[in-house]
Amino acid sequence: MYKLVIQGGNTLKGEIKAAGSKNSSLPILFASILANGPIELTNTPHLSDISTTLRLLMDMGGEFILESSGALCVDSSKLTNLVADYSLVKTMRASILVLGPMLAKYGEAKVSLPGGCAIGTRPVDLHLKALRDLGAEISVKNGYIYAKSKQLIGTEIHFEQVSVTATENILMAATLAKGTTTIDNAAQEPEVCDLCLCLNKMGAKISGIGTSVLIIEGVKQLNGISYAVCPDRIESATYLVAAAITGGCITVKNIRHQSMRAVLGKLIEIGADIKTRNDSITLNMKGRRPKAVNIKTSTYPNFPTDMQAQFTALNAIADGHSSITENIFENRFMHIPELSRMGADLTLEGNTVHYEKPPHAHKFASSQNGLRFSS
């Protein structure tokens, strides 16, 4: 979509179904390279990153069908071109996830370095070091990663820093390695768990799922399967924050609230009534203005960086002083100048955003349509 036009001043209310998780769907689509047959996925979202991933897989010889049921059937079992080209990789950093599976299945891969990124430098050194630990020969020339290995060999891998996609890349590579691989300081994000569950359904042997130590016993081959991708916790939480900002009441369906504890805790702190049911959450602000909250982003199960911007917007109309510290990406603040242009009193100091305006300096006024923020 070229642009969104938002008419403000309305209270958000009603019911909405969250889509399947983007950050689960992407690694699982790349995991299709490891299988010896097609993978049928349900609950995948319709997003440009999904189209980019499919284009990348097609470019390498994969095939896909969008079934009338909405399921996505992907066959990447017989790739003919083992090159992930810059033209596609530069548009989506998660394309680096092609590296581990391609190397493990075909013994070689040429993958473009992802290039620049708006939220920070985002290097891939952790991915490359861990693949070398598995015995791969890796070189970087003219903007491309060249990886080779007749047979990856299981080993003990320690990540110096927690990385979601590095954990996913290495665990995918390790499924077809000879022997056992242990990944220490692995990311524990629900999307990593979803990938592990999918790989195990394909025939992999991964244990320690959901902990910081993953143990992968290599197998000879993985099979095609059907799999339902987990719901998108970031999309769900974004709807809840949007409703909270307007003093509204909404129910979000297709969620797993167990994976949203840190965010739900903050929504309770701002003054929202939260009701969780089996697969839905209802947030009700009862027309109240939110209270500002202090937040520090971190790795799962702590507060996610992907919800930082939404809570910064919420703090901009909330009562009280607050600060939000971004600990994952050094430059994830592009929204700050835009919020300032809209009148928000935010200042950025290092990696912390302060909201300084004293309480009640602006009105949270009732209008015919609901509540609106006015300076």
Residues that bind ligand UD1 (CB under 6 A): 23, 26, 93-94, 120, 122-127, 161, 163-166, 191, 304-306, 328-329
Q: Which of helix, strand or coil describes residue 298?
A: coil
Q: How would you classify the pairing of strands 83-84 and 363-367?
A: unpaired
Q: Which is nearer to ligand UD1, 125 or 356 (CB)?
A: 125
Q: Which is nearer to ligand UD1, 127 or 257 (CB)?
A: 127
Q: Which is nearer to ligand UD1, 134 or 317 (CB)?
A: 134
User: How many Å apart are CA 89 and CA 192, to the nearest integer?
Assistant: 21
Shortest reach from residue 360's CB to ligand UD1, in Å: 34
Q: Exactly one of 73, 117, 193, 196 is catalytic; name it.
A: 117
Yes or no: say if 193 and 27 are a contact pair by the CB < 8 Å rule: no
Shortest reach from residue 141's CB to ligand UD1, in Å: 18
User: Is residue 257 left, alpha or beta, with left meaning phi > 0 and alpha meaning psi from -120 to 50?
Assistant: alpha
User: Is 193 designated active site?
Assistant: no
Q: Which is nearer to ligand UD1, 123 or 179 (CB)?
A: 123
Shortest reach from residue 34's CB to ligand UD1, in Å: 18
Among 233, 232, 246, residue whose Cα is nearest residue 14: 246
Shortest reach from residue 300's CB to ligand UD1, in Å: 7
Shortest reach from residue 374's CB to ligand UD1, in Å: 33
DSSP, res 250: E
Shortest reach from residue 301's CB to ligand UD1, in Å: 12
Q: Go through 184-204 and write b for each residue having 16 or more CB atoms within 10 A of its CB, e for each that does not.
A: ebbbbbbbbbbbbbbbbebbb
Query: What CA–CA distances, in Å, run from 215 to 46, 200, 251?
Result: 33, 12, 38
User: How many Å apart are CA 234 and CA 259, to the nearest integer?
Assistant: 10
Yes or no: say if 84 and 60 are a contact pair by the CB < 8 Å rule: yes
Q: Which is nearer to ligand UD1, 233 or 257 (CB)?
A: 233
- H-helix or E-strand containing 349? strand 346-349
User: How many Å apart are CA 249 and CA 325, to the nearest integer?
Assistant: 28
Q: Which is nearer to ligand UD1, 300 or 364 (CB)?
A: 300
CA 16, 17, 19, 21 dihedral sign is positive
Which amino acid, 192? V
Residues labelled catalytic: 117
